Structure 1
């Protein structure tokens, strides 16, 4: 824990970093990582852009905001910058495919890239180098704020962590594009973080959970725009002992560990530990999915199974262990460990198709789910918060034997540039023309820093085809 005396000027330290770092000072591997993360987020956005909830959101926002000036990704149209941040963020998070940070507990691209791109649409002279700098500061600040606040700890009491922590990340990303100085950057953070929100009851039967990170992106853009005109935001909003973020969400500012936010800021790059999802569901489910797919490869089939027992950490149990009722909803399936375990073993995969309405209608999935138990295992808690995605799995077979497995958490599985390219192409193939796929990939990964960022905005406006049919929530 951090004493109150040690928390002085935490928000200002973050603001000085975000306002002061120059693109030319950024290490090459950090910039490369930001490019790859952005490419992944944009792929997710094209998948999400025409899903049913995305269409409804676009229609609804057109009722209340009629402005133009910013690109709505995948739609070939212009909307207000505020709507662009909200809606594009919703698209990125639209099908649970986007990045994760195991300890910072947010989906960074959905708040960082979307807020920065909307800001760049407002400021058309923005270069790619300035945009990449904005990506870097947002990718760095977001996970650090989450780590300082206990990461997934908030999810145990029902907060959607990413849409809480993401308000700081989006603010510094947009503020970087606007060229804010440290004082105004602190105001941007204050203006944005005061709107931190997101309640996880949304994961059961709603569409709004998919919009939470978009709301955080919008908050950051608006907060930075206000600050750019001298509208003063809350000072010390992260660490203020009364009504600051830590005090409000943790109950006491001393519960935060601000050293995880400020120590090594600008030197030890946390953004390099942001991961790329390999499955279309909540990151808490991935380690068990890995084990089920491996078991299928070894020949295990659902007919061999009497029962599966999965021991998980407290935070994972609260988020994933409830018993779904048929016919189920896509979003609920993407949050539910029983469902993910069943489809992974049946199909050897847990990607877009496994969470479709067609998959939810399969009797064999529900039959296997009835044989899966998920329980809180205190042995996982004892490993520490950083290992909370480990699972203990016992597979009881019909021949009377039991297979005991300990899963590897997803943050232990590294990704490289080629895996991101493969995922990008796999997701957008058939949604936009092949020539546009090539252009977007090449621009993000190789364009020079002095290239106008507006060229990327124009590419992202390419109209896309719907990714899936038959979805309702």
Structure 2
């Protein structure tokens, strides 16, 4: 590394111009202008989808735990905690709002990397934008670069999932740092250091998919806060190794056996366009399975829960490990990571939405009877199924007949994208009740015209609950 001019009282160092971290930093600093029209539209839809999840899931038990944590920490500042309307530091607002968003498995998903960029990047960007009163156009651009950096880091180490790492938690700090660095106008050098520092924040395990627990709900929050902290540390003069990401002992080699190179194609195409939105409130690995069962239901009216003898699901190792291990879930988190339970909900309740998982009784014998009839099989590693989270589903009926289908890309992914009206309808289904119909409608109007908004704070003011909860304090002793 070479010496750079001093920043204040701290001597900085310039990361190698050829390194992955420096390449990502240059992309962040050079992508502050206008976006291609398809990217602009897509960014706004993902922001809207993220905000719907954020306000809808703010009242869940683990979300209220995050809110209690914030209230106890007492970190006033320029940013706002959604739904409750409480002022907070940029870091704390990013943490809590990201935790809300990732709180119930309905936030957007990049299927190849199994990452959730919106839950991390949008809350971090919006909190950072509040700090400087950034415009809507600046916010949109920052979110776009945050998505690109996070997804490309995630795609460079997809093997991390085999080691038990949670992709969103590992790659998320990079996306949050990129968005904040863009909004706070860091130069190439400090942006590279911020991204390098983010590598030391990157962490998170996936044991939740086996034995439950609610900590997974705050992984996006930890990542969002870590990205903001990385930027603040870089601004203060903390430096990072030039190989923090792709060096011999860098993050990518630490978490995966077969790491790639994240800068590939930067500025030429946007990975945001491959990031899907979720119509179902469960792990995205089982969305093709639910689509397959729904398709068979539509085609065969005789397919009822009582008629099912056995359900066989074939998926690749990654999906089988994520959603094929749990048959009788112990809590709602494990229920959302159980394809067997998801199939049961589809066959018995004909739905896999927010209310279906929230109101499902985990000891419901009607659901469990169906779940116990589901068996998982793995596609050969040498010849995996093609597509994004693909599956083959075969349902044997009591009369001996067999129904089967294959789905290679779930509804909501780039293989079968949700329309703008679909996304708005999903947002309204999530936000109308907590915000009220009038305020929810105003949020739609603002977000869909975000590039013309002079101050992002005007959006945040509408993300507060219509009820007394907006001003309520959590039940803690402080």
| Same fold at TM > 0.5 | yes
1:95 aligns with 104
Aligned mates of 2:151, 2:188 — CA distance in 1: 20
Q: State whether residues 75 and 463 of structure 1, in contact with CA within 8 Å, keep that contact through their aligned partners in structure 2.
A: no
Residue 216 of structure 1: CA displacement? 0.5
| 1:401-429 Cα distance to aligned partner (Å, 9 max, x none) | 21232123223211221111111111112
Partners of 1:289 and 1:341 within 8 A in 2: yes
Q: Which residue of 1 aligns with 2:435?
A: 432
2:19 paired residue number: 9
Cα distance in 2 for partners of 1:102, 1:464 equals 36
**Residue matched to 1:128:** 136
Rounded to whole Å, the distance in 2 between the matches of 1:464 and 1:229 is 40
The residue that corresponds to 1:373 in the other structure is: 375
Shift of 1:226: 1.8
Matched, 1:53 2:58: no
- Partner residue in 1 for 2:53: 44
> Aligned residue for 2:177?
171
Matches within 5 A, 1:11-26: 11-24=21-34, 26=35
Displacement of 1:262: 2.0
Q: Aligned partners of 1:42, 1:187: CA distance in 2, in Å?
A: 30
Deviation at 1:248, TM superposition (A): 0.8
Task: Decide whether aligned partners of structure 1 residues 32 and 309 sit closer, same or farther in structure 2, where only a CA change above 3 A counts.
Answer: same
1:295 deviation in Å?
Answer: 2.1
Asked if structure 1 preserves the Cα contact closer than 8 Å seen for 2:286 and 2:339, the reply is: yes
Matched, 1:397 2:397: yes
2:237 paired residue number? 230
Paired position in structure 1 for 2:286: 285
1:67 corresponds in structure 2 to 76
Q: After TM superposition, give the deviation of residue 462 of structure 1 in Å.
A: 4.1
SS, match of residue 179 in structure 1? coil
Structure 1: where are the runs of 5+ without partners? Answer: 1-5, 467-473
Does 2:216 correspond to 1:215? Answer: no
Contact 1:295 1:345 in 2 (8 A): no
Is the partner of 1:218 in helix, strand or coil?
A: helix
List structure 1 segments (4+ residues) > 3 angstroms apart after TM superposition. Answer: 323-326, 447-450, 461-466
Q: Where does 1:266-415 land on structure 2 (aligned, <5 Å)?
A: 266-297=267-298, 298-299=300-301, 300-325=303-328, 328-378=330-380, 382-383=383-384, 387=387, 389-410=389-410, 411=413, 412-415=415-418
Distance 1:405 1:465 in 2: 49
Structure 1 residue 196, shift from structure 2 partner: 0.6
Query: What is the aligned counterpart of 1:144 among 152, 157, 167?
Result: 152
Q: 2 CA distance for matches of 1:7 and 1:104?
A: 27
Measured after TM superposition, the shift of residue 156 of structure 1 is 2.4
C-alpha separation in 2, matches of 1:273 and 1:433: 32
**Unaligned regions of 5+ residues in structure 2, if any?**
1-15, 470-478
2:424 is the alignment partner of 1:421: yes
User: Which residue, 33, 42, 45 being the options, matches 2:42?
Assistant: 33
Tell me the SS of whatever aligns to 1:459. coil
Partner of 1:246: 252
Return the structure number with greater helix share: 1
Offset of residue 207 of structure 1: 1.2
Secondary structure at the aligned position of 1:431 is classed as helix
Per the alignment, do residues 303 and 107 of structure 1 end up closer, same or farther by CA in structure 2, a change over 3 Å counting?
A: same
Cα distance in 1 for partners of 2:130, 2:17 equals 36
CA distance in 2, matches of 1:149, 1:450: 37
1:352-379 CA-to-partner distances (Å, cap 9, x unmatched) read 1221243434221011111111122317
Match of 1:199 among 205, 209, 216: 205
Residues 114-152 of structure 1 show CA distances to partners (whole Å, capped at 9, x for unaligned) of 11111112223x1111111101101112111111212xx
TM-score of the two chains, using structure 2 as the length reference: 0.89
In structure 1, C-alpha distance between the alignment counterparts of 2:468 and 2:254, rounded to whole Å: 43
Residue 222 of structure 1, CA deviation: 0.8
Q: What TM-score results when the alignment is normalised by the length of structure 1?
A: 0.90
- Which digits, 9 at most, give the CA deviation of each residue in 1:201-246, with x for residues without a partner? 133331110000111111111111222233223323211112x111
Measured in 2, the distance between the counterparts of 1:398 and 1:287 equals 24
Q: Do the aligned partners of 1:54 and 1:94 also contact (CA within 8 Å) in 2? A: yes
Matches of 2:238 and 2:207, distance apart in 1: 34
The alignment covers a number of residue pairs equal to 448
Equivalent-residue separation in structure 2 for 1:463 and 1:72 (angstroms): 14
Take 1:232 and 1:65, find their aligned partners in 2: how far apart are those partners? 29
Give me the CA root mean square deviation: 2.0
Between the aligned partners of 2:448 and 2:364, the Cα distance in structure 1 is 40
